[in-house]
């Protein structure tokens, strides 16, 4: 019997490292009687997470498929909860626990363990759980957890950041012996921005989430329905370059991905993490109408500047959801 600990599809740094940190917690403390806790991933990790695991000499967790999960195994979800973001084919009755900081969208058949906190990073929650259990990460794990918090909160600049993230970050920095957190953040940002190994289509699919937003009922749409909406985000220190040199290629790739994913709307958010600004790439009139309603302003040359909004979870997705209602 194995207890798999797994993050969301399109794994980011926060979800991969939270799974690794939880494995350490459940190996060290018998919290809920889990057998053989094992951090795994849904698919290949992004360049930033790869950079960090390499830097600190930690092996990348193995990719899990639903076929490899035995009937007696348990699964712990971290950094996500909704079915659309889970490993494909996962039997929800095997979920034993969820640890997350996203909006809750669940309909499970059995009671399970849950820790949800409105903090900026899943790793802030995992550190909180470690402290509850009198456990301290070692220097390497503390470095990775700090990196994950800085990544998910965009160096504490995202609207999702809370004082708890900063408090935990400071404790981790001490354990990790990271004196210059700003320099460490910049190093992470540079890794985040490294898209040299990705083609245009991979960029559009590098960090995306698909949402089923409720759409208001009207004459054309009696009773209402849902609108399948894909939002990709590229966090970069080179927004200008992406929106000039790469724009045409990205728009072409967006058309391909939109058809392939069978979504009604596709937005690509190019977020400058140093300037604290997001510009949306707008593919067609359908996205244009929704984006202008959601954020105000006017789309020019397929671009809508939405100002200092950097959080997909707290700012971008909710505004689009509201505009659709």
Residue from 38, 122, 185, 229 touching Mn ion (CB under 5 A): that is 122
SS3 196: coil
List the one residue out of 266, 290, 289 whose CA is nearest residue 201.
266
What is the distance between the alpha carbons of residues 13 and 304, in angstroms, rounded to a whole number? 28
List the one residue out of 68, 50, 69 whose CA is nearest residue 59.
50
Tokens 């459940």 locate to 26
DSSP symbol at 44: P
Q: How far is the CB of 246 from Mn ion (least distance, A)?
A: 26
Q: How far is the CB of 14 from Mn ion (least distance, A)?
A: 4
Residue 14 contacts Mn ion per CB under 5 A: yes
Q: How far is the CB of 46 from Mn ion (least distance, A)?
A: 13
Which residues lie closer than 8 Å to 1 by C-beta, 6 or more apart?
35, 36, 70, 72, 73, 74
Q: How far is the CB of 157 from Mn ion (least distance, A)?
A: 15
Q: Are the beta carbons of 178 and 56 closer than 8 angstroms? A: no
b/e per residue, 201-212, with b = 16+ CB within 10 A?
bebbbbbbbbbb
Q: For Mn ion, which is the closer residue by CB, 80 or 309?
A: 80
Residue 272 contacts Mn ion per CB under 5 A: no
Stretch that binds Mn ion, among 35-43, 83-91, 144-152, 169-177 (CB under 5 A): 144-152
> Residue with the closest Cβ to Mn ion?
14
Residue 48 contacts Mn ion per CB under 5 A: no
Residue from 152, 165, 272, 287 touching Mn ion (CB under 5 A): that is 152
DSSP symbol at 313: I
Q: For Mn ion, which is the closer residue by CB, 73 or 79?
A: 79
Residues that bind Mn ion (CB under 5 A): 14, 79, 122, 152
């Amino acid at each position: 019997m194995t207890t798999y600990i797994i993050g969301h599809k399109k794994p980011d740094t926060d979800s991969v490292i939270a799974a690794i940190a939880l494995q350490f917690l459940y190996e060290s403390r018998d919290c809920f009687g889990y057998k053989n806790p094992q951090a795994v991933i849904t698919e290949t990790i992004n360049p930033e997470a790869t950079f960090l695991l390499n830097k600190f000499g930690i092996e990348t967790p193995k990719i899990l498929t639903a076929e490899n999960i035995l009937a007696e195994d348990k699964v712990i979800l971290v950094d996500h909860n909704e079915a659309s973001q889970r490993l494909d084919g996962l039997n929800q009755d095997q979920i034993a626990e969820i640890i997350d900081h996203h909006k809750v969208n669940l309909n499970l058949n059995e009671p399970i363990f849950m820790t949800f906190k409105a903090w900026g990073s899943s790793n802030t929650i995992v550190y909180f759980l470690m402290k509850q259990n009198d456990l301290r990460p070692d220097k390497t794990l503390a470095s990775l957890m700090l990196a994950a918090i800085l990544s998910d909160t965009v160096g504490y600049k995202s609207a999702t950041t809370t004082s708890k993230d900063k408090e935990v970050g400071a404790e981790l920095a001490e354990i990790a012996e990271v004196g210059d957190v700003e320099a460490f953040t910049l190093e992470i940002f540079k890794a985040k921005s490294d898209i040299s190994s990705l083609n245009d289509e991979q960029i559009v699919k590098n960090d995306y989430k698909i949402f089923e937003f409720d759409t208001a009922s009207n004459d054309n749409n009696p009773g209402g329905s849902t609108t399948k909406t894909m939002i990709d985000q590229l966090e970069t220190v080179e927004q200008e370059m992406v929106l000039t040199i790469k724009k045409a290629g990205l728009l072409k790739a967006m058309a391909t991905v939109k058809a392939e994913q069978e979504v009604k709307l596709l937005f690509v958010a190019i977020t400058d993490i140093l300037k604290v600004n997001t510009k949306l790439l707008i593919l067609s009139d359908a996205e244009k109408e929704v984006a202008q309603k959601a954020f105000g302003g006017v789309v020019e040359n397929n671009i809508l500047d939405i100002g200092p909004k950097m959080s997909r979870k707290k700012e971008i997705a909710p505004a689009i959801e509201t505009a659709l209602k």
